[in-house]
Structure 1
Amino acid sequence: MSPNELRPTYPITTERLRLRPLTSADAEALLSYRSRPDVCRYVPFEPMTPDVITDRLDTYWAATILTDEGQSLTLGIEVAETGQLVGDVVLFWHSRKHRGGEIGYVVGPEFAGQGYATEAARAVLKLGFEGLGLHRIVGRIDERNEPSARVLRRLGMRQEARLVHNELFKGEWSTEVVFAMLSEEWAALG
Protein backbone atom coordinates (compact mmCIF):
# COMPACT_ATOMS: atom_id res chain seq x y z
CA MET A 1 0.00 0.00 0.00
CA SER A 2 1.34 3.41 -0.91
CA PRO A 3 0.62 6.38 1.33
CA ASN A 4 -2.06 8.57 -0.11
CA GLU A 5 -3.82 10.47 2.63
CA LEU A 6 -5.43 9.93 5.99
CA ARG A 7 -8.95 11.16 6.74
CA PRO A 8 -9.98 9.58 10.06
CA THR A 9 -13.52 9.53 11.36
CA TYR A 10 -13.65 11.15 14.81
CA PRO A 11 -13.64 10.31 17.57
CA ILE A 12 -11.30 7.37 17.26
CA THR A 13 -12.31 5.06 20.07
CA THR A 14 -10.23 2.59 22.03
CA GLU A 15 -11.16 0.51 25.04
CA ARG A 16 -11.05 3.50 27.43
CA LEU A 17 -10.27 6.53 25.28
CA ARG A 18 -11.55 8.82 22.58
CA LEU A 19 -8.94 10.43 20.34
CA ARG A 20 -10.16 13.59 18.68
CA PRO A 21 -8.99 16.89 17.21
CA LEU A 22 -8.10 19.54 19.76
CA THR A 23 -10.28 22.65 20.02
CA SER A 24 -10.13 26.00 21.78
CA ALA A 25 -12.22 24.43 24.56
CA ASP A 26 -9.14 22.31 25.39
CA ALA A 27 -6.86 25.29 26.05
CA GLU A 28 -7.05 25.13 29.84
CA ALA A 29 -6.52 21.37 29.99
CA LEU A 30 -3.58 21.61 27.56
CA LEU A 31 -2.04 24.38 29.63
CA SER A 32 -2.39 22.29 32.80
CA TYR A 33 0.28 19.86 31.59
CA ARG A 34 2.07 21.54 28.68
CA SER A 35 3.07 24.49 30.89
CA ARG A 36 4.87 22.27 33.41
CA PRO A 37 8.69 22.14 33.34
CA ASP A 38 8.67 18.51 34.54
CA VAL A 39 6.42 17.48 31.64
CA CYS A 40 8.54 19.38 29.12
CA ARG A 41 11.89 18.15 30.41
CA TYR A 42 12.49 15.52 27.72
CA VAL A 43 10.21 16.71 24.92
CA PRO A 44 11.07 19.11 22.08
CA PHE A 45 9.18 22.10 23.41
CA GLU A 46 9.49 24.50 26.31
CA PRO A 47 6.74 24.97 28.89
CA MET A 48 3.90 26.62 27.01
CA THR A 49 2.06 29.83 27.79
CA PRO A 50 -1.62 30.48 27.06
CA ASP A 51 -0.59 32.44 23.94
CA VAL A 52 1.50 29.54 22.62
CA ILE A 53 -1.37 27.11 23.27
CA THR A 54 -3.78 29.40 21.40
CA ASP A 55 -1.37 29.75 18.49
CA ARG A 56 -0.85 25.98 18.26
CA LEU A 57 -4.61 25.36 18.36
CA ASP A 58 -5.00 27.79 15.45
CA THR A 59 -2.13 26.34 13.40
CA TYR A 60 -0.31 23.03 13.95
CA TRP A 61 -3.01 21.36 16.00
CA ALA A 62 -5.84 22.46 13.68
CA ALA A 63 -5.10 19.67 11.16
CA THR A 64 -7.65 16.86 11.14
CA ILE A 65 -6.31 15.00 8.07
CA LEU A 66 -2.95 14.17 6.51
CA THR A 67 -2.62 14.79 2.77
CA ASP A 68 1.16 14.89 2.26
CA GLU A 69 4.55 14.31 3.83
CA GLY A 70 5.77 16.94 6.26
CA GLN A 71 2.39 17.15 7.96
CA SER A 72 1.38 16.02 11.43
CA LEU A 73 -1.85 15.08 13.14
CA THR A 74 -2.18 15.90 16.85
CA LEU A 75 -5.16 14.42 18.69
CA GLY A 76 -6.45 14.94 22.19
CA ILE A 77 -6.51 11.92 24.50
CA GLU A 78 -9.87 11.99 26.24
CA VAL A 79 -11.01 9.47 28.85
CA ALA A 80 -14.29 8.14 27.45
CA GLU A 81 -15.90 7.63 30.85
CA THR A 82 -15.29 11.19 32.09
CA GLY A 83 -14.71 13.27 28.95
CA GLN A 84 -11.53 14.62 30.54
CA LEU A 85 -8.58 15.54 28.31
CA VAL A 86 -5.51 13.85 29.84
CA GLY A 87 -2.92 14.30 27.11
CA ASP A 88 -2.28 14.35 23.40
CA VAL A 89 -0.72 12.11 20.79
CA VAL A 90 0.81 12.94 17.42
CA LEU A 91 1.51 11.18 14.13
CA PHE A 92 4.12 12.80 11.87
CA TRP A 93 4.24 11.85 8.20
CA HIS A 94 7.92 12.23 7.33
CA SER A 95 8.28 10.67 3.88
CA ARG A 96 5.92 9.67 1.10
CA LYS A 97 8.67 7.88 -0.88
CA HIS A 98 10.01 5.92 2.10
CA ARG A 99 6.58 5.63 3.74
CA GLY A 100 8.00 6.81 7.05
CA GLY A 101 6.39 8.34 10.09
CA GLU A 102 6.89 9.05 13.77
CA ILE A 103 4.75 9.03 16.88
CA GLY A 104 4.87 11.16 20.00
CA TYR A 105 2.71 11.62 23.08
CA VAL A 106 2.43 13.59 26.27
CA VAL A 107 0.18 12.87 29.25
CA GLY A 108 -0.44 14.97 32.33
CA PRO A 109 1.51 13.65 35.35
CA GLU A 110 -1.63 13.01 37.36
CA PHE A 111 -2.72 10.54 34.67
CA ALA A 112 0.65 8.85 34.15
CA GLY A 113 1.01 5.15 34.86
CA GLN A 114 -2.55 4.29 33.81
CA GLY A 115 -1.70 3.10 30.31
CA TYR A 116 -3.30 6.04 28.51
CA ALA A 117 -0.18 6.92 26.49
CA THR A 118 0.25 3.30 25.39
CA GLU A 119 -3.42 2.93 24.45
CA ALA A 120 -3.47 6.21 22.51
CA ALA A 121 -0.15 5.54 20.78
CA ARG A 122 -1.34 2.07 19.73
CA ALA A 123 -4.37 3.68 18.05
CA VAL A 124 -2.07 6.14 16.27
CA LEU A 125 0.20 3.32 15.09
CA LYS A 126 -2.91 1.74 13.59
CA LEU A 127 -3.72 5.01 11.81
CA GLY A 128 -0.19 5.18 10.45
CA PHE A 129 0.14 1.59 9.31
CA GLU A 130 -3.43 0.68 8.35
CA GLY A 131 -4.87 4.09 7.49
CA LEU A 132 -1.92 5.82 5.83
CA GLY A 133 -0.04 2.73 4.66
CA LEU A 134 3.25 3.64 6.28
CA HIS A 135 6.10 1.11 6.13
CA ARG A 136 8.04 2.28 9.19
CA ILE A 137 7.16 4.36 12.25
CA VAL A 138 9.70 5.53 14.80
CA GLY A 139 9.61 6.95 18.29
CA ARG A 140 12.58 9.12 19.29
CA ILE A 141 13.21 9.89 22.96
CA ASP A 142 15.82 11.22 25.32
CA GLU A 143 17.57 8.26 26.94
CA ARG A 144 16.73 9.60 30.41
CA ASN A 145 13.00 9.40 29.69
CA GLU A 146 12.54 5.84 30.91
CA PRO A 147 8.72 6.07 31.27
CA SER A 148 8.50 6.88 27.56
CA ALA A 149 10.86 4.03 26.69
CA ARG A 150 8.52 1.68 28.58
CA VAL A 151 5.58 2.91 26.49
CA LEU A 152 7.45 2.24 23.25
CA ARG A 153 8.47 -1.23 24.41
CA ARG A 154 4.88 -2.06 25.45
CA LEU A 155 3.80 -1.09 21.93
CA GLY A 156 6.14 -3.74 20.56
CA MET A 157 8.60 -1.26 19.10
CA ARG A 158 12.24 -2.29 19.17
CA GLN A 159 15.20 -0.12 20.06
CA GLU A 160 17.27 0.44 16.94
CA ALA A 161 19.74 3.12 17.87
CA ARG A 162 21.39 4.93 20.74
CA LEU A 163 22.90 8.18 19.51
CA VAL A 164 25.31 9.37 22.20
CA HIS A 165 25.35 13.14 22.74
CA ASN A 166 23.98 13.68 19.23
CA GLU A 167 22.00 16.81 20.00
CA LEU A 168 22.41 19.91 22.11
CA PHE A 169 19.01 19.79 23.78
CA LYS A 170 17.84 22.43 26.23
CA GLY A 171 21.39 23.48 27.03
CA GLU A 172 22.97 20.05 27.45
CA TRP A 173 24.06 17.15 25.30
CA SER A 174 21.33 14.59 24.95
CA THR A 175 21.62 10.92 24.08
CA GLU A 176 18.75 10.02 21.79
CA VAL A 177 17.24 6.54 21.64
CA VAL A 178 15.33 5.53 18.53
CA PHE A 179 12.64 2.86 18.60
CA ALA A 180 10.94 1.59 15.44
CA MET A 181 8.32 -0.73 14.08
CA LEU A 182 7.77 -1.95 10.52
CA SER A 183 4.37 -2.55 8.95
CA GLU A 184 4.95 -6.33 8.90
CA GLU A 185 5.80 -6.24 12.63
CA TRP A 186 2.58 -4.34 13.25
CA ALA A 187 0.60 -6.90 11.24
CA ALA A 188 2.20 -9.74 13.20
CA LEU A 189 0.92 -8.25 16.45
CA GLY A 190 -2.54 -8.85 15.01
Structure 2
Amino acid sequence: MLRPLGPGDVEALVAYRGRQDVSRYVPFEPMTRELIAERLAGPWVRTELTGEGQALTVGVELTGTGQLVGDVTLFWHSELHRGGEIGYVFNPEFAGRGYATEAATAVLGIGFEVLKLHRIVARLDERNEASAGVARRLGMRLEARLVRNEFFKGEWTTELDFAILAEEWADDR
Protein backbone atom coordinates (compact mmCIF):
# COMPACT_ATOMS: atom_id res chain seq x y z
CA MET A 1 0.00 0.00 0.00
CA LEU A 2 1.26 3.50 -0.79
CA ARG A 3 0.78 6.12 1.90
CA PRO A 4 2.19 9.44 3.10
CA LEU A 5 5.25 9.24 5.32
CA GLY A 6 4.88 10.52 8.87
CA PRO A 7 6.72 11.06 12.15
CA GLY A 8 6.05 7.47 13.18
CA ASP A 9 8.19 6.23 10.29
CA VAL A 10 11.56 7.50 11.57
CA GLU A 11 12.86 4.14 12.79
CA ALA A 12 11.68 2.22 9.72
CA LEU A 13 13.30 4.82 7.43
CA VAL A 14 16.56 4.72 9.41
CA ALA A 15 16.53 0.92 9.05
CA TYR A 16 17.22 1.26 5.32
CA ARG A 17 18.05 4.89 4.52
CA GLY A 18 20.66 4.81 7.28
CA ARG A 19 22.55 1.94 5.66
CA GLN A 20 25.77 2.43 3.71
CA ASP A 21 24.90 -0.31 1.21
CA VAL A 22 21.55 1.32 0.45
CA SER A 23 22.98 4.81 -0.03
CA ARG A 24 25.91 3.63 -2.16
CA TYR A 25 24.26 4.37 -5.53
CA VAL A 26 21.80 7.13 -4.60
CA PRO A 27 22.31 10.87 -4.10
CA PHE A 28 22.42 10.82 -0.32
CA GLU A 29 24.70 9.53 2.38
CA PRO A 30 23.37 7.23 5.12
CA MET A 31 20.69 9.27 6.85
CA THR A 32 20.52 9.95 10.57
CA ARG A 33 17.37 9.99 12.69
CA GLU A 34 17.69 13.76 12.91
CA LEU A 35 17.88 14.24 9.14
CA ILE A 36 14.96 11.89 8.53
CA ALA A 37 12.86 13.71 11.15
CA GLU A 38 13.73 17.00 9.42
CA ARG A 39 12.68 15.62 6.03
CA LEU A 40 9.44 14.28 7.52
CA ALA A 41 8.67 17.78 8.76
CA GLY A 42 9.49 19.34 5.38
CA PRO A 43 9.84 17.94 1.87
CA TRP A 44 8.43 14.48 2.59
CA VAL A 45 5.19 15.85 4.06
CA ARG A 46 3.80 16.76 0.61
CA THR A 47 0.77 14.66 -0.36
CA GLU A 48 0.17 16.04 -3.86
CA LEU A 49 2.01 17.68 -6.73
CA THR A 50 0.66 21.05 -7.83
CA GLY A 51 3.47 22.33 -10.05
CA GLU A 52 6.80 21.64 -11.66
CA GLY A 53 9.89 21.44 -9.50
CA GLN A 54 8.01 19.52 -6.82
CA ALA A 55 8.51 15.96 -5.63
CA LEU A 56 6.12 13.51 -4.01
CA THR A 57 7.58 10.80 -1.76
CA VAL A 58 5.28 8.04 -0.58
CA GLY A 59 5.90 5.18 1.79
CA VAL A 60 5.40 1.56 0.79
CA GLU A 61 3.67 -0.38 3.53
CA LEU A 62 2.98 -4.10 3.70
CA THR A 63 -0.77 -4.41 4.05
CA GLY A 64 -0.59 -7.51 6.20
CA THR A 65 1.79 -6.11 8.82
CA GLY A 66 1.74 -2.32 8.42
CA GLN A 67 5.53 -2.39 8.12
CA LEU A 68 7.21 0.32 6.02
CA VAL A 69 9.57 -1.41 3.57
CA GLY A 70 10.52 1.38 1.18
CA ASP A 71 9.59 4.63 -0.49
CA VAL A 72 9.07 5.88 -4.02
CA THR A 73 9.50 9.45 -5.25
CA LEU A 74 7.96 11.12 -8.29
CA PHE A 75 9.66 14.33 -9.42
CA TRP A 76 7.73 16.73 -11.67
CA HIS A 77 10.48 18.34 -13.73
CA SER A 78 8.63 20.28 -16.43
CA GLU A 79 5.07 21.39 -16.98
CA LEU A 80 5.82 22.54 -20.55
CA HIS A 81 7.47 19.26 -21.56
CA ARG A 82 5.30 17.23 -19.19
CA GLY A 83 8.37 15.44 -17.89
CA GLY A 84 9.02 13.61 -14.67
CA GLU A 85 11.40 11.25 -12.96
CA ILE A 86 10.92 8.32 -10.62
CA GLY A 87 13.20 7.04 -7.87
CA TYR A 88 12.83 4.26 -5.33
CA VAL A 89 14.63 3.16 -2.17
CA PHE A 90 13.83 -0.10 -0.38
CA ASN A 91 14.96 -2.01 2.66
CA PRO A 92 17.20 -4.83 1.32
CA GLU A 93 15.61 -7.21 3.82
CA PHE A 94 12.54 -7.17 1.55
CA ALA A 95 14.35 -7.45 -1.79
CA GLY A 96 13.25 -9.87 -4.46
CA ARG A 97 9.57 -9.89 -3.54
CA GLY A 98 8.31 -7.49 -6.20
CA TYR A 99 7.46 -4.66 -3.80
CA ALA A 100 9.56 -2.04 -5.60
CA THR A 101 8.07 -2.92 -8.99
CA GLU A 102 4.52 -2.91 -7.64
CA ALA A 103 4.93 0.39 -5.81
CA ALA A 104 6.78 2.12 -8.67
CA THR A 105 4.06 0.94 -11.07
CA ALA A 106 1.45 2.70 -8.93
CA VAL A 107 3.55 5.88 -8.81
CA LEU A 108 4.01 5.83 -12.60
CA GLY A 109 0.22 5.64 -12.75
CA ILE A 110 0.02 8.87 -10.75
CA GLY A 111 2.47 10.50 -13.12
CA PHE A 112 0.73 9.46 -16.31
CA GLU A 113 -2.94 9.23 -15.29
CA VAL A 114 -3.22 12.04 -12.75
CA LEU A 115 -0.54 14.54 -13.77
CA LYS A 116 -0.82 13.66 -17.47
CA LEU A 117 2.96 13.56 -17.86
CA HIS A 118 4.29 12.69 -21.31
CA ARG A 119 7.56 11.06 -20.25
CA ILE A 120 9.05 9.71 -17.02
CA VAL A 121 12.71 8.79 -16.63
CA ALA A 122 14.75 6.84 -14.10
CA ARG A 123 18.44 7.74 -13.79
CA LEU A 124 20.67 5.30 -11.96
CA ASP A 125 24.21 4.15 -11.37
CA GLU A 126 25.14 1.38 -13.79
CA ARG A 127 26.37 -0.79 -10.92
CA ASN A 128 22.91 -0.79 -9.32
CA GLU A 129 21.68 -3.89 -11.11
CA ALA A 130 18.65 -4.32 -8.84
CA SER A 131 17.41 -0.83 -9.70
CA ALA A 132 17.96 -1.43 -13.42
CA GLY A 133 15.92 -4.62 -13.10
CA VAL A 134 13.04 -2.67 -11.57
CA ALA A 135 13.17 -0.10 -14.39
CA ARG A 136 13.02 -2.88 -16.99
CA ARG A 137 10.11 -4.60 -15.22
CA LEU A 138 8.29 -1.24 -15.25
CA GLY A 139 8.48 -1.32 -19.04
CA MET A 140 11.09 1.42 -19.20
CA ARG A 141 13.64 1.21 -21.98
CA LEU A 142 17.34 1.96 -21.64
CA GLU A 143 17.89 5.14 -23.64
CA ALA A 144 21.38 6.18 -22.64
CA ARG A 145 24.54 4.95 -21.02
CA LEU A 146 26.58 7.98 -19.99
CA VAL A 147 30.10 6.69 -19.42
CA ARG A 148 31.89 8.16 -16.41
CA ASN A 149 29.78 11.30 -16.73
CA GLU A 150 29.51 12.27 -13.08
CA PHE A 151 31.99 12.52 -10.24
CA PHE A 152 29.81 10.94 -7.58
CA LYS A 153 30.85 10.08 -4.04
CA GLY A 154 34.54 10.33 -4.85
CA GLU A 155 34.62 8.45 -8.16
CA TRP A 156 33.59 8.75 -11.79
CA THR A 157 30.38 6.81 -12.35
CA THR A 158 28.44 5.65 -15.37
CA GLU A 159 24.77 6.60 -15.49
CA LEU A 160 21.99 4.59 -17.10
CA ASP A 161 18.93 6.55 -18.25
CA PHE A 162 15.68 4.63 -18.62
CA ALA A 163 12.41 6.15 -19.85
CA ILE A 164 8.80 5.38 -20.67
CA LEU A 165 6.27 7.49 -22.57
CA ALA A 166 2.60 7.95 -21.68
CA GLU A 167 1.44 6.02 -24.76
CA GLU A 168 3.77 3.13 -23.93
CA TRP A 169 2.41 3.14 -20.40
CA ALA A 170 -1.18 3.04 -21.72
CA ASP A 171 -0.34 0.24 -24.18
CA ASP A 172 1.08 -1.89 -21.33
CA ARG A 173 -2.03 -1.49 -19.20
TM-score by length of 2: 0.99
User: Residue 107 of structure 1 aligns with which residue?
Assistant: 90
1:48-103: CA deviations, max 9, x gaps? Answer: 01110011101110100101000000000001111100000000000000000000
2:150 is equivalent to residue 167 of structure 1: yes
Pairwise CA distance, 1:135: 0.0
Name which of 62, 77, 80 aligns with 2:63.
Answer: 80
The Cα of 1:177 is off from its aligned counterpart by 0.3
TM-superposition CA deviations, 1:89-131 (whole Å, max 9, x none): 0000000000000000011010011110000000000000001
SS at match of 1:104: strand
Structure 1 residue 183 corresponds to structure 2 residue 166: yes
Give unmatched runs, 5+ long, in structure 1: 1-17
Percent identity reads 68
Extract unaligned runs of 5+ from structure 2. Answer: none
Where in structure 2 are the equivalents of 1:1-190 lying within 5 Å? 18-190=1-173
> How far, CA to CA, are the matches of 1:21 and 1:171 in structure 2?
33
Secondary structure of the 2:107 match is helix
Aligned to 1:4: none
Q: Counterpart in 2 of 1:12?
A: none
Aligned length: 173
SS in 1 for 2:56: strand
Q: TM-score, normalised by structure 1?
A: 0.90
Distance 1:170 1:113 in 2: 27
4+ residue segments displaced more than 3 Å: none
Following the alignment from structure 2 to structure 1, what is the Cα–Cα distance between the partners of residues 164 and 155? Answer: 29
Once superposed, what is the RMSD of the aligned Cα atoms?
Answer: 0.5
